[in-house]
Amino acid sequence: MKLNEIISILPFYKAMYLADDVIINEIKMDSREVNQGDLFICINGYTVDGHDYVDQAIANGAVAIIAENIIYTNVSTIIVPDSQRALSMIAAHFYNYPTTKFPLIGITGTNGKTTITYLIESLLNEYGRKTGVIGTIQMKIGDHLFPVQNTTPDSLFLQKSFHKMVECNVDTAIMEVSSHALDMGRVYGCDFDIAVFSNLSQDHLDYHKNMDDYLRAKSLLFAQLGNTYKKTHRKFAVINVDDSRHDIIGRSTAQHIITYSCKNNAAITAENIQLDANKTSFRLVTPVGEIMISSKLIGMFNVYNMLAAVGVATALHIPLITIKAALERITGISGRFEPIEGDHSFTTIVDYAHTPDSLENVLQVIKDFAKNNIIVVVGCGGDRDKSKRPQMAAIALNYADKVIFTSDNPRTEDPQAILEDMVHGQKENHYEIIEDRKRAIYHAINLAGDHDVVLIAGKGHETYQVIGHTKFNFDDREIAKEAILAKEN
């Protein structure tokens, strides 16, 4: 695409220098990825300032620069008031507005986004649709998997991925939308058709000033649902009305609302809920009929996740029989309440609970079914919300018979300081601190006796541990398997 065509989408800009007929190969926001013929856009980030990498970008072959600060270069240089915002506009334009070409479903909320995303994928696949998925675990186009750095990546990665989805004939895209992404404008330019709100509880208070600010960020997804009413292109907000913040989320959108609930009146509800140790059944009640569901996903929180997915299915007119087939087929989601196989007399579960609410939910499920002791291995991430630490520790101590506090992803923080934040002031003392996560997991598994349950919480599907700035290979599931084998032999 020509540079002139790309910048025509910007209402305001100042051209420091604009060469004729510059053809742009690709747009890049990282100087290290620039190739001959690319446009480099300077983003002033949290760690470094992209403006400092203009020379490197030009040396790598950039033929045009978009920047926020006045800079002088020997290639076409455009100055905009806000380069992050310009990036979203330009990326959507460059990739020809891919999200207008298929329905886009966005899921937000503190917990359950990944789970709901994969439930919706399963429903749509059962219905014969080809899906694209973007979220915490990966990006998926059909059965092809691609790594992601963020739950909701930056606008350039997003628009490029959606473009790839269009090329691969994806007919519906499903994505997790984090509060960071909403706040930073990573999803500006995404044309959402359905937005889901799962719940709000404490997380990310390192980034958001307080819970109201966190809620405001979440509500932006609903404010972005478009303001026109076209019969042919209806938009929907699917909202959990059992969450006390549902009203503010609902009032953030002008679009149609589909409510779901296990306790209140709602369009989608679950009746006669039976929670068992290895299955969950309920009568699903929807505006178009009722049907019995028997799912392998366990725990009350998964009933909520299923209702959220059913809300989306209802908006898309997916028949009840298809909904039932899809919900009954799905056996689990990677790293979410994932049992570790092995011939052993106790149960080991790896779960991604890394917030107080999710940890409590998961431990409640375990408590309901555990025949003997509960042993928990848990830590808290570094460079993240510090106020979660004592809360998560207290929850673990409250539900478990024995807790091993350990490292999660310490990132740039001192692991001992994180552990100190967790245990400081705790009244209970049935815990040990083993900073090395591998040793902590081995120890927990060695302690386990007949019919005990070992919960390894916080890292779920992650296949790494971030210590300092380095990512080391680490997978709770692999380590747990090793430890179980070692115990057996």
Ligand X SMILES: Nc1ncnc2c1ncn2[C@@H]1O[C@H](COP(=O)(O)OP(=O)(O)OP(=O)(O)O)[C@@H](O)[C@H]1O
Ligand Y SMILES: N[C@H](CCC[C@H](N)C(=O)O)C(=O)O
Name the residue nearer to ligand X (CB basis): 215 or 254: 215
Interface stretch with ligand UAG, choices 123-131, 178-186, 345-353, 365-373 (CB under 6 A): 178-186
- Binding flag, residue 114, Mg ion (CB under 5 A): yes
DSSP string, 377-390: EE---TTS-TTHHH
Judged by CB under 6 A, does residue 180 bind ligand UAG?
yes
Helix/strand/coil for 289: strand
To the question of whether residue 178 is assigned a binding role by annotation, the answer is yes
**Cα angle, residue 271 at apex, residues 265 and 275 outer, rounded to 5°:** 130
- Cα 143 to chain centroid, rounded: 19
Residues 3-62 touching ligand X, rule: CB under 6 A, are none
Site string for ligand X, 117-146 (x = CB under 6 A): -------------------x----------
Fill in the amino acid letter for 464: Y
Q: Locate 470 and state its tokens.
A: 């380095």
The one of ligand X, ligand Y, Mg ion, none whose footprint includes residue 311, by CB under 5 to 8 A per kind, is none
- Among positions 113, 402, 461, 477, the unique one binding Mg ion when judged by CB under 5 A: 113
Q: How far is the CB of 458 from ligand Y (least distance, A)?
A: 5
List 53, 127, 197, 399, residue binding ligand UAG (CB under 6 A): 53
List, as one string, the DSSP characters of 172-235. EEEEE--HHHHHHTTTTT---SEEEE----S--TTTSSSHHHHHHHHHHHHHTS-S---GGG--
User: Would you say 78 and 55 are in contact if contact means Cβ atoms under 8 Å apart?
Assistant: no
Question: Which of 96, 92, 66, 95 shows the shortest CA–CA distance to 81?
Answer: 66
Residue window 152-191: x/- pattern of binding to Mg ion, with contact defined by CB under 5 A: ------------------------x---------------
CB of 437 to ligand Y, least distance (A): 11
The answer on whether 348 is annotated among ligand-binding residues is no
Find out whether 380 and 389 touch, Cβ atoms under 8 Å. Answer: yes
Q: How far apart are CA 95 and CA 216, in angstroms?
A: 29
Q: Which CB sits closer to ligand UAG, 29 or 225?
A: 29
In order of 287, 308, 424, 426, the CA distances from 320 in angstroms are: 10, 14, 50, 48
Is residue 198 near ligand X by the rule CB under 6 A? yes
By the rule CB under 6 A, 163 interacts with ligand X: no
Binding site partner of 409, from ligand Y, ligand UAG, ligand X, none, Cβ cut-off 5-8 A by kind: ligand Y
C-alpha to C-alpha distance for 265 and 127, rounded to whole angstroms: 28
Q: Is 171 in the site for ligand UAG (CB under 6 A)?
A: no
Site for ligand UAG in 120-159 (CB under 6 A): 149-152, 154
Which listed residue (28, 208, 246, 354) binds ligand Y by CB under 6 A?
A: 354
109 marked ligand binding residue: yes
- Residue 61 DSSP label: T
458 near ligand Y, rule: CB under 6 A: yes
Question: By CB neighbour count within 10 A (0-12 exposed, 13-18 middle, 19+ buried), where does 359 fall?
Answer: buried
Q: Is residue 136 a contact point for Mg ion (CB under 5 A)? A: yes
Minimum CB distance to ligand X, residue 46 (Å): 19
Tell whether residue 48 is a contact of ligand UAG (CB under 6 A): yes
Helix extents (H) in 286-370: 300-315, 320-329, 356-369
Binding residues (CB under 6 A) for ligand X: these are: 111-115, 136, 151, 176, 198-199, 301, 304-305, 336, 351-353, 357-358, 361-362, 460
Binding region for meso-2,6-diaminopimelate:
384, 408-411, 458, 462
Binding region for ATP:
109-115
Binding residues (CB under 5 A) for Mg ion: these are: 113-114, 136, 176
